[in-house]
Amino acid sequence: MALATKNLSICLENKLILQRVSLTFTPGRRTAIIGPNGAGKSTLLRALASLNMHYEGQVLLDGLDVRKISRKKLARRLAILPQGMTAPPDITVGALVDYGRFPYRSWVHASDAKADREAVEWALECTHLREFKHRQVRSLSGGECQRAWIAMALAQQPEILLLDEPTTYLDIGHQLEVMNIIEELNRSGKMTIIMVLHDINHALQYADEIVVIKDHGIFAQGTPQDILTVDMLATVFGVKADIFVNTQGAAVLSPVSLAGDRAVR
């Protein structure tokens, strides 16, 4: 069960975003995609999830071109959480999560009501939202709302979960809460996680594989220890950083100032 791209090139509005990107995402791992603004991280993620199909090259799922898989079948194996979602404010968390069962329903086949119910309960359980099932979406805080959307994606019972900056706009407590949920899904559920992250330290702490995107292609790919270095931050982000070890014995990167060309005013 592997997701991969082969010579993936994407142009948006006549502007080259990604050029001949070939990548394989190891099943059962947590991969973080990082890179500067506008490098094409979200574009890559959207192509991986077939939200944008205007590309050259291929996106492969188990070696099969995703364009040959029906959208609903794909949605049962792969779920994506894009950025900036809006739901009708009056629907309940339970109803929202239940929408995640859409790929299992059709006009011809009545869906398995028991399986639907169990999937929704499981999704709520994973995201600690059991008590929120009957609450309206409008009454949720930012962190609860993000968890509700994650629960909806989980109700799809995907093997692969794609997340676009899942912690944006959340305070540090809710950020860790969301990251811990994602980690747990991967640990106990063996779910493959592919996430675009802004916070380098989240990538260090929560990913076991890093992909760095820069200048329309892959700048580097490997383990956090190999990739997330002071040199990389200087080259890719133009930032001079310190690295130190925290009380837990983990490495932490701390940006200190702009580096190289960007430091010159």
Partner 1 sequence: MGDEREPELERAALASHSHGWRLYRRFFVLLLFTALAVAGFFISVMLGSVEIPLEEIWQAIFSGASGVHEQIIMNIRLPRTIVAALVGINLALSGAILQAIMKNPLADPHIIGISSGAGLTGILVMLVFPGYEYLVTPAAFVGAMGAAVCIYALAWKNGIRPVRIILAGVAVSAFLGAGISALMIFYSDRVHGALMWMVGGLAARSWPHVAIIYPYTILGVLLAFLGARQLNILQLGDEIAKGLGLRVELTRIVMTAIAAMLAASSVSVVGLLGFVGLIVPHAARLILGSDYRFLLPGAAILGAAVVMLSDTFARTAFAPTELPVGILMAVLGAPFFLFLLRREL
Interacting residues with partner 1 (CB under 8 A): 46, 49-51, 54, 70-76, 79-82, 85-88, 90-92, 94-95, 99-100, 102-103, 105, 107, 130-135, 152-153, 156
Which CB sits closer to partner 1, 153 or 239? 153
Cα dihedral: 43, 83, 64, 182 (round 10)? 130
Taken as a whole, the chain contains a residue count of 265
Q: What's the gap between Cα 73 and its chain centre?
A: 20
Which CB sits closer to partner 1, 3 or 75? 75
Q: In angstroms, give the least distance from the CB of 230 to partner 1.
A: 36
Rg of the chain's alpha carbons, rounded to an integer? 19
Which CB sits closer to partner 1, 35 or 100? 100
Calculate the alpha carbon distances from 130 to 35, 121, 124, 126, 148 in Å: 36, 7, 5, 9, 10
**Among candidate residues 9, 27, 108, the one with its CA nearest the CA of residue 63:** 27
Q: In angstroms, give the least distance from the CB of 187 to partner 1.
A: 24
Collapse the DSSP code of 1 into the 3-class scheme (helix H, G, I; strand E, B; otherwise coil) and give the result: coil
Q: In angstroms, give the least distance from the CB of 10 to partner 1.
A: 13
Q: In angstroms, give the least distance from the CB of 197 to partner 1.
A: 19
Q: In angstroms, give the least distance from the CB of 92 to partner 1.
A: 7
Cβ contacts of 62-71, under 8 Å, gap ≥ 24: 62/1, 62/2, 63/2, 63/4, 71/103
Which CB sits closer to partner 1, 85 or 115? 85
Which CB sits closer to partner 1, 92 or 168? 92
